[in-house]
Amino acid sequence: MLHCGKINRTDIQYDYLQKIYLEKGWAWWLNHIGTFVVFIIGFLGNMLCLVFLCRRPFIRNSYTQYLIALAIVDTGAISSETLVAFDSFIQYQSNGKQTLFQHTALSCKLYYYVRFILYSMSSWIVVVLAVERLVAIKYPLWSKYICSVTNARRIICLMFLFTMSIQSYQLFVKGIDCSVAITSTQICRCKTLPAFIEVDIFFTIYFWRLFLMTLIPLIIIITVNVLIMNKLFHKNSFMDCRNRVDHTHRKAVLRYRISRMLVIVSSIYLLLHVPGSTLEIIKSIFGHALKLCRPKWNYYIHITQHIFDLLTNCNYGINFYLYIISSKHIRSALLHGPGIFHFAPFKYRSSSQRSKHFISSYIYSSRRSRATTLNKGLVRGETISSI
């Protein structure tokens, strides 16, 4: 334990220290086994999400660009957490003599750099997605220009560049540390270098985790979700559209369903992410700023941290299932449309039947060509990207 110095400990305190550092209790096994299960379920769900959302008509929506990017970074994040869990399991089986990877100095820096980029992108995509929904329902006329596919892709690229610059300190503070020898054979670890421990604590705990990953997303998502729900359930909102034409009514209902689904997704993200992040901040403050040296408290914090880490990992694997559960629009398109789980029966037709069908369709379409031309202006009035 850091900053504790020489302290006379009782046998009970040594028992707690042994449970923390040597023994692997039920919380450790729950976290690691649960991470492997979440990886299997989440990897399958994220792959299905990519296949499903990359097809028409979903690919033409602005919010779909964020969901696709979220599925990609969540797959990378849960894969990283699985590698960390597997590495911890190998170290436990070998009593700390073996690791999953034999890192070089460069691979160690890139390993942490990519991991933290994925974690940051996963959080801020949810934040931007919530703000995009607020613009879509609060200012529907502006949303046709603001909430476009092109702007969504630009915002994702800007977030990625910003995250790369913020996490660049990982390339300096991480490295191969061979100063600690557990046995007679010296073992080198990929970790924070001793000379940069204080720098890593400041940037990772106080700047990145406290502000960028907890306080700012928490304030933005709660505020935006309250405004969205107030708009959705207001008596004069766009849901009160009984006197509207059918096309406008369908778009209003669809916008309501999509907004409700994304409010659920962002709210569940906060419920699963904030407890673990908050506990990590408290543990670091107690361990470094307040110099707390009570093994019993650290033992219970250690157990709680394993449980909250598993909840955080669930964030990276459940989004596609939340889309299905919370949105009837997604369920209908998934089950009844020409998608993943729907296979239309083959219809065998003779060449003469196909020719007759083509000719009749051509005659029918030519008769209605003038009416279609007149209605093009109305159809182009609202684009799908503004939903």
CATH of 20-328 among 3.30.9.10, 1.20.1070.10, 1.10.390.10, 3.60.21.10 = 1.20.1070.10
Compute the distance between CA of residue 306 and CA of residue 309 in angstroms, rounded to an integer.
Answer: 5
Compute the distance between CA of residue 133 and CA of residue 147 in angstroms, rounded to an integer.
Answer: 9
Predicted pLDDT of residue 143: 76
Predicted pLDDT of residue 17: 58
What's the Cα-to-Cα distance from 326 to each of 5, 38, 268, 271, 335, rounded to whole Å? 53, 20, 12, 16, 15
Predicted pLDDT of residue 326: 78
What's the Cα-to-Cα distance from 270 to each of 37, 110, 124, 161, 325, rounded to whole Å? 21, 28, 12, 24, 18
- Rg of the chain over Cα atoms, rounded to whole angstroms, equals 27
Domain residue spans in the chain?
A: 20-328
pLDDT in tens, the chain (387 residues): 444 544 455 555 556 556 565 567 788 899 999 999 999 999 999 998 898 888 877 788 888 899 999 999 999 999 999 999 998 888 888 876 777 778 888 999 999 999 999 999 999 999 999 999 888 888 877 877 888 899 999 999 999 999 999 999 999 999 888 765 444 455 778 889 888 988 998 899 889 999 999 999 999 999 999 998 888 776 555 445 544 555 566 666 777 778 888 889 999 999 999 999 988 888 877 665 555 556 677 777 888 888 999 999 999 999 888 888 877 777 777 776 554 544 444 443 444 444 444 444 444 444 444 444 444 443 344 444 446
Single pTM value for the model: 0.78
Written in H, E and C, the secondary structure of the chain is CCCCCCCCCCHHHHHHHHHHHCCCCHHHHHHHHHHHHHHHHHHHHHHHHHHHHCCCCHHHCHHHHHHHHHHHHHHHHHHHHHHHHHHHHHHHHCCCCCCCCCCCHHHHHHHHHHHHHHHHHHHHHHHHHHHHHHHHHHCHHHHHHHCCHHHHHHHHHHHHHHHHHHHHHHHHHEEEECCCCCCCCCCCEEEECHHHHHHHHHHHHHHHHHHHHHHHHHHHHHHHHHHHHHHHCCCCCCCCCCCCCHHHHHHHHHHHHHHHHHHHHHHHHHHHHHHHHHHHHHHHHHHHHCCCCCHHHHHHHHHHHHHHHHHHHHCCCCHHHHHHHHCHHHHHHHHHCCCCCCCCCCCCCCHHHHHHHHHHHHHHHHHCHHHHHHCHHHHCCCCHHHC
Predicted pLDDT of residue 131: 93
Name the nearest CA neighbour of 214 among 286, 167, 280, 148.
280
Predicted pLDDT of residue 125: 95
